[in-house]
Amino acid sequence: MTPVSSHPPHGQAPLRTVQVLGGGNAGSSAHVRSLAAGLVARGVKVTVCAPFDAERTYDFTGAGADHVHVPRSSDPVSVAALRTVCAQADLVHAHGLHASFRAALALGGRRVRTPLVVTWHDRVHAEGARGQLLRVLERRVMKAAAVVLGATSELVDGARRTGARDARLGPVALPARPARQAGDEDPDRLRPKVRAELGAIDRPLLVAVGSLEPHRGYDVLLDAARVWRRLDPAPLVVVAGEGPLRGELQGRIEGEALPVVLAGSRDDVPDLLAAADLALLPSRREPGRSVFAQEALHARVPLVAGAVGGIPELVGDAAELVEPGDARALAEAVVRLLADPARREELRERGARQAATWPTEDETVAQVLSIYDELTQPTPLL
């Protein structure tokens, strides 16, 4: 794709942008890394304000950006540090609610109005007093933002209901994983090796990836596994991720003799998918663009997922969708697919076609840059 804006004309200063990141969301952090690399390649000066641990993990400086440590906190010291950085920016782009709120505070009260762009990758969910506080923060952010980009239509609609002046669909591309290096093991040989390591040599392998938190629906997954353990051979379910529910889930797995392994945090998700027969996404809530769903379809692995949030829009007819929270529906969908090789092959083909419709990293950068140009170009005098 031809970039919307490239290197500035001779003698013109480059566009100066600040990307504000909370650092707690892997999808938004990977997106900022990808965005920084694309913007720098187009002659834009990029400063990423994020905690040190986000820089260590995502290497924003390696993408050509400057990195400034700003803690996740919204205390006066952190906001003052962010205000100092933003004072030199032509435009500020914040990712996620808390980062956006800090950016709004940092930009508030300035005589020169610096445009604020906000990307909603997900929507924070909470009940009670914390939920009320989050809604207050959301309204403050929507009021301050010149443009709100929602990763899904559901998020765009939510932004408009919350008071956004200008909310647009801004799908976030799945950042490419590092290419295999020369000398890496051949993928065709890697599949049986991974299956052997996991204990799935002569049985189906089902893979789920995501933090062990209530909204992920792993309790539903374990309920479904009670059905699958009666199959011959019983499929092995591998869950990659960590979180506060590990003890509770492990207790059920052992107490009910379920064919499920909690594999902990893994950095080899592509290898797990390459070895898998099916991918599972039993989430009760998934308003953003699920990274795992995208990786599954890219890897041509049939996906069974809850029809919730942004999932139906993301996958179209390229996955088996079930009612979220319905263990019986999840169990039956998996049983049907394991018994139907033709349907699995059909989903692989549909998945590849659906993935080809998603925006590339280059297209995502071009869309964002067009919005930057729109907000920073001088308004012509009539």
For the record, the structure tokens of 5 come out as 């804006």
- Across-strand partners of 264? 240, 241
Residue 72 has a pLDDT of 83
Separation between Cα atoms, residue 355 and residue 299, nearest integer Å: 10
Q: Residue 261: name the closest of 214, 200, 333 by CA.
A: 200
At 185, the amino acid letter reads E
Helix/strand/coil for 37: helix
**Listed residue (106, 137, 113, 104) closest to 123, CA to CA:** 137
Q: Could you state, in chain order, the average pLDDT of each consecutive group of 10 residues for the chain (382 residues)?
A: 46 86 78 96 97 93 96 86 94 95 88 89 80 90 96 93 95 69 60 91 95 95 96 96 96 97 93 96 90 95 96 96 97 98 98 95 95 86 54
What is the predicted pLDDT for the residue at 172? Answer: 87
Output the pLDDT for position 121: 87
Q: What are phi and psi of 141, to 5 degrees?
A: -65, -45
Q: Which residue has the tokens 């490419």?
A: 176
CA atoms within 13 A on the CB side of 137: 20
Q: Are 310 and 120 in contact (CB under 8 A)?
A: no
pLDDT reported for residue 22 = 81
Residue with tokens 């539903």: 220
Are 151 and 120 in contact by the 8 Å Cβ rule? The answer is yes
CA dist 124 and 218 (Å) reads: 19
Q: Please return the burial class of 117, using the count of CB atoms within 10 Å of its CB with bins 0-12, 13-18 and 19+.
A: buried
Could you tell me the strand order of the sheet in which 236-240 lies?
260-264, 236-240, 205-209, 278-281, 303-306, 320-322
CB-based contacts of 257, cutoff 8 Å, min separation 6: 229
Q: Is 34 helix (H, G, I), strand (E, B) or coil?
A: helix
Give the pLDDT score at 188: 67
**What was the pLDDT predicted at 7?**
46
For position 3, what pLDDT does the model report?
A: 45
